[in-house]
Structure 1
């Protein structure tokens, strides 16, 4: 008995999506395409916000730039390992790397939840208190709120990780997902995890559900306070992008974390939605529905093209 207790798991096997090499190769191409789009879209939004003085001075776009950075980090926590595993039949991940992946997944994920809540507050002030918007949503307050979002994510993730590493893992070692997350990993612990699961569900489920409720209350308050139909239409148009992002992100998270850690057949697909698809769609949602962002992107493109032509002309002159 004592000998078995010392034989702890040193690595996990990620189940992935399929064991058929041809299917895995096709999925590799598909998810690589998603990941490249995620990088291009989010980097483009960050570069646009940084390069445009009017956007950079706006609290809304300052928060949007931070959201794009979080989306990029969130996708990078899981997707590179997923892409590598599509080309590797073993799909192994050392125990330490699994815990690190779990930590950053919850760190960035919770920070994004808090930031989306902050963005809802920003929209509330902009629509319901427009005359006080610039005095309330100052640059200093925005930095504090973003910093608080990161700190909240760090605290949440530290608690989750501490609870996880306190458990013994002595086999089996196959994680029923394509990345290390609390629900599939905790089931591999060779001890009773009822209390730990209850604490983790309370932690993750409470954060995701309460943030979502706050967001819904915020937008409901906005619509209630605006009396005219035209005003409500403009408010809905302004907040529609944020509502779409909130629904895509919070819906799957609540499904996964706000229930007991039992396994459902759709869990992997839901995980793909909020780990891979949502970070890719966020830049498209904000860009396609926002005239200011589209205008700033066109200006950035024109400046880049002019600079490229100048460099090309300079190279030709030097060659002569």
Structure 2
């Protein structure tokens, strides 16, 4: 397993992060479609990941209505110190008006609930799970800073925010002497490269860690899907069509994925994951699994080295359509870049 520095911190995390969305939720849509794993299967998946060198696990308080965190708390036990444990807050956790968002009240209550469910005295990476338009960054970051200074949280991160929102938060942290976000969790796959427009340049410029979620586009790039249909009727995408993708373009990507996979004699999923890991700025990619053999195959992607030909073919078939102002800045950059 390879490890990467998490942003500008001194902490190193495995380039494969185990996503815990498949844990729990057997009777909680849509998590029953994602995984619905019980205690025994969760223990097997976590044990396999740790034995393979994975030291990074990500969950959220809304996954399976908290059951994902509860199962993790039960299976980690003596192995807790071997793991950089991440979870998230923001989504609705109850019927009350303050059971959602990023107010000081909700941050405090959500943190205490996650600590209890995870059966731990601290969370290594505590992330906001979206943007709260009603709560100022001063309030949210103030509550998160208190949690860090109390020793309940080591680092804080953000997920599913725009570039301007993250930069604004970093400015607030610097101005108010508050803890800054050290990482960004964002969707990134060969079927969804949107973050390359604004988020990725900002992440690299600010020295943040990038944790890529859904690198297989909700399983669409796993090799189970073709223009003729799904090879596995139980595949996640057949039950939960998320995240949104341009299917026709994604089918073109799959054609190239399979060709590259054949050259290396590996699965299409491994190639899709290896492509994400090969992108500059990516710290770790988050994978979820329902079966041990699926997890083992995905973990092997960390050791797969794609050739320049492989990367060029994959980049070309999945390339973004140029958008303003990106295209005009690229057009004019030649006058400012030294040559030779």
Per the TM superposition, whether the score is higher than 0.5 is no
Question: Higher helix share goes to which structure?
Answer: 1
**Structure showing greater Rg:** 1
Q: TM-score, normalised by structure 1?
A: 0.22
Q: TM-score, normalised by structure 2?
A: 0.21
Greater relative CO (CA pairs within 8 A, separation 6+): 1
